[in-house]
Amino acid sequence: MHLLAELPPPPAFDRWVLEQPLPLAAVCFFVAVAVVIALRRRGELKRGLIGGAILAFTGAGVLAAGMLVETPRERLSFLTAEFIRRVFAADAEWAEKTLSDPLMIASAGQVFDSMGKEQLLATIRNFEAFGTREWTQKSWGSAIDGEYSGRTQATIRVSARYLGNQTLPSTWEFTWRLGRDGEWVITRIECLTMFGQPPRMNLERDARNIANTKPGDGKGGLRPDAF
């Protein structure tokens, strides 16, 4: 169950033309055919063909716009999915370019005092200490809060050695800022829920453990009894 407040919806034009063009394009093509058939029965085939052609071209234009134009919301959704994938791949080099400095890390509204960009990058480098077996992610959408800021939410389900036989679902919110170079960077990462409830585990402690782990020493990581 999704317990989070929904992100505000996009403008209708962005949603139905640029982000989800298929339904509107399909309606245009369906109406085009219907117009041709209806006017043909009335003996106005030429008029029907003209009207149908206009509607068909409109549908094609909607599809083309949806394929060619990437909205800021779509960009943020892509970057969020890519960031999560890179974390599980322990790709700290890529993540470093996507994280702002300073970086805020929080859990259920509480900002971590001892965690920032440097510590998070160390955690990502040592991510193999979690012993991840498999993971999936689901986007809860994105929102543009201003000309230079936005937010995304995603749920991650992961099974790992340190979790025993459990699969851990957690939902995260990412706050983004558009830089002068035209690239988006993450300014805040917050864990919103675990198992559909406010987080109860000490994420700050566990993240520090992973950050301080030396490759191959087998220490640190999430404790199975942390829940």
Question: Is 4 within a domain?
Answer: no
Q: Of 21, 43, 68, which residue constitutes the final position of a domain?
A: 68
- Of 56-70, 143-157, 203-217, the range with the lowest mean pLDDT is 203-217
214 and 135 co-located in one domain:
yes
Q: Give yes or no: residues 162 and 208 share one domain.
A: yes
CB 25 within 8 A of CB 61: no
Tens digit of each residue's pLDDT (9 = 90 or more) over 175-203: 999 988 889 999 999 999 888 887 765 66
Q: Please report the pLDDT score of residue 77 as a whole number.
A: 95
Residue 82 shares a structural domain with residue 175: yes
Do both 105 and 194 map to the same domain? yes
* pLDDT range class, residue 225, cuts 50, 70, 90: very low
Claim to verify: residue 129 and residue 165 sit in the same structural domain: yes
> For 80-129, what is each residue's pLDDT tens digit?
999 999 999 999 999 999 999 999 999 878 888 878 899 899 888 887 77
* Tens digit of each residue's pLDDT (9 = 90 or more) over 124-160: 888 777 778 899 999 999 999 988 999 999 999 988 7
Chain-centroid distance of CA 87 in Å reads 14
Query: What residues make up the domain containing 45?
Result: 12-68
Would you state the torsion angle of the CA atoms of residues 10, 16, 18, 21, taken in this order, to the nearest 10 degrees?
Answer: 150
Strands 184-194 and 99-107: parallel
CA distances, 163 to each of 141, 157, 158 (Å): 28, 12, 9
Give the whole-angstrom CA distance, residue 41 versus residue 48.
Answer: 10
- Do 56 and 85 lie in one domain? The reply is no
CA distances from 114 to 4, 95, 119, 181 (A): 26, 19, 8, 29
| Alpha-carbon gap, residue 57 to 65, rounded angstroms | 12
Within a domain: 172: yes
- Total count of domains within the chain: 2
H or E stretch at 181 = none
